[in-house]
Structure 1
């Protein structure tokens, strides 16, 4: 939620997009997702010429491969629908063999700086990422979550 607030100091409109990823093999670290997210953020920054915020959380059940719930935040003046970004993610996923992608229903939220209702809807959706169950089932040095680190304008 911190990155949501920070990015609203940069842009009066944001578009939040929810995307889920699953590792195709069991792993003790977050390397596959970290590398993918780094490439995706660079690509989106270049395409839209704006800050790209993100957050992801790792979940893992027992001995199964981890999965990740992510949220992307982009300038809502430049992006008002997720279709082109989802196409980009799908094409990038095809090029590698480490992750699967799932696009949840109602995957995007337009957020306005001066509209508490739009912010609350996005925060409610993000609250699912904060659930405690299935977290912590990882090696000690592996993170449960990560966010972009943008600062207020």
Structure 2
């Protein structure tokens, strides 16, 4: 007789993954690995910034493309910042997952990859302008069509939110493994809604 026991993934290509969040989706782990490599191929020193995007209290969700709007807005904000300050190049790349447990609205876990020689820190999380944290908040406000003050509490920067990967560092492999371990959480199957016609996971392709 066949077994219905879930196959739990303990490692991926020799790297540790999170095992306390239930079953992981291997195809998501593959995409996570591919996107990290994509970012590093463009910028050998890459900053990866983790953030959670939620909906403000009493916000009415009438569409499901807010994450696409956020990405487009953030890219435009970065282009404008680079042009204004003549700071070099930095094409943002992303991995995101949409989750929903018992709340009325979904929320998003996202990591933003940037050129680490240009953007190395988020800055003060509550800033309205002038740093990367503010640019992320501005992009989410734009995606929702609200003022930035209306999303206070809706953008959450996690502990140890910024990772720096540098191919020239002697501990580069450890940097990579640490980030992959952190992002393996994105591959968990729990709290994702399947079969509703919406995407639960997205990543940059170029």
Q: Same fold (TM over 0.5)?
A: yes
Q: TM-score, normalised by structure 1?
A: 0.84
Deviation at 1:93, TM superposition (A): 4.2
CA radius of gyration, larger in: 2
Instruction: Select the residue among 28, 32, 36 that pairs with 2:70.
Output: 36
Residues 70-149 of structure 1 mapped to structure 2, 5 A cutoff: 70-83=110-123, 84-94=131-141, 96-97=145-146, 100-114=154-168, 115-136=172-193, 139=196, 141-149=197-205
- SS of the residue 2:159 aligns to: coil
Q: State the Cα deviation string for residues 84-134 of structure 1 (Å, max 9, x = none).
A: 110222344456349621111110100112510111111111111111110
Larger mean CA deviation between 83-92 and 113-122 belongs to 83-92
Structure 2 unaligned spans of 5+: 1-32, 83-88, 124-130
> Residues 29, 93 of structure 1: CA spacing in aligned structure 2 closer, same or farther, 3 A cutoff?
closer
Larger mean CA deviation between 28-37 and 9-18 belongs to 28-37
**Matched residue, 1:64:** 104
Structure 1 unaligned spans of 5+: none
Query: Cα RMSD between the aligned structures?
Result: 2.3
Equivalences, count: 149
